Amino acid sequence: MWRGDMHMEGMDDGMKVWRDRALLGFFCLFLLFPAFAGKSVQAFGNMQVGLFSWDIEAIREKGSREDLFSILFEINANEVYQSLRVDSARDFLMEAHQRGVRVYALSGQPEWGLDPKAGKMMKEVDLVVSLRRKLDGAGPAGLVLDVEPYLTKIYRNDPEQAMDTFVAAMRKTYAYAREAGVEVILCIPYFYDTKGFPDHLRALIEEASDAVAVMNYFKRTEAANIASEVSIARESGKRLINIAELQRPGTHDLTERNTYFREGLPAVWKSFEKLAGDFGYEGLSYALHDYTALREVIDRE
């Protein structure tokens, strides 16, 4: 250890030059270290990052919950979209509240969006309300609905009618949620506008949700993929969450073009930073899909 009270008078010029260079090099490494330490895991700066988690087992036991919170901390994530069940949600929600982590109840099936009565989606709103009443301030911050009607046979047979029904069902759900004071985030693919549904897209953002989470799963054109969505969100003062996929290629027909599984988190953070610079929209935030895949990616790095 270098002592600050060391007498320097007896040092020759060569030693002084060597000392000064060594100290300068050490000082530079000290300044740069935070930028490199854990860079493969941690997000940069004050970037708002969320994490999708469909794994109900991740919150049942205390040890599993600790693992989840630890990874949320590592990636600087301040919110998690978690599949919840009444019998296993209480302890998790209480601990998340104590740690300052916002939890959104995560649920959805493709068919839900094709029910004009929106029965299943309104039941999910009821779940959030019920958990809030039971936990008195520690309940979910809101609801994330992952409803993808384009995956159904009904959509394949009549896309226009399916999308009309979906928008109507989401309007109904959103009105019900607003009356209950529940925030609704709707997951959407990046391609509604390019598939011929720009008006439906606008309605989903402006009239049927508080925010949209866009599954931006085509890496070659990420900024172009969400340009329309960001524009509508900006005009309507809504939040837009850009989602990056981490699941292994081959899962759900994902290919290297869709997922960051092999490139890892440094490539994800680089992508997020580029999108932030491209759009300059304060309502743009980011998320990773999903917790199980993230753990695998971190183990590989």
pLDDT value at position 88?
A: 81
Question: What structural domains does the chain harbor?
Answer: 48-300 (3.20.20.80)
Local structure of residue 152 (DSSP, 8 states): S
Residues 244-266, buried b or exposed e (16+ Cβ, 10 A)? bbbbeeeeeebeeebbbbeebbe
Relative orientation angle of helices 198-207 and 159-180, to the nearest 10 degrees = 10
Which long-range contacts does 276-280 make (Cβ < 8 Å, 24+ apart)?
A: 276/47, 278/223, 279/223, 279/230
pLDDT value at position 217?
A: 98
Along the chain (301 residues), what's the average pLDDT of each consecutive run of 10 residues?
32 42 39 35 70 96 97 95 91 97 98 97 97 94 98 98 98 98 98 98 98 98 98 98 98 96 97 97 98 96 81
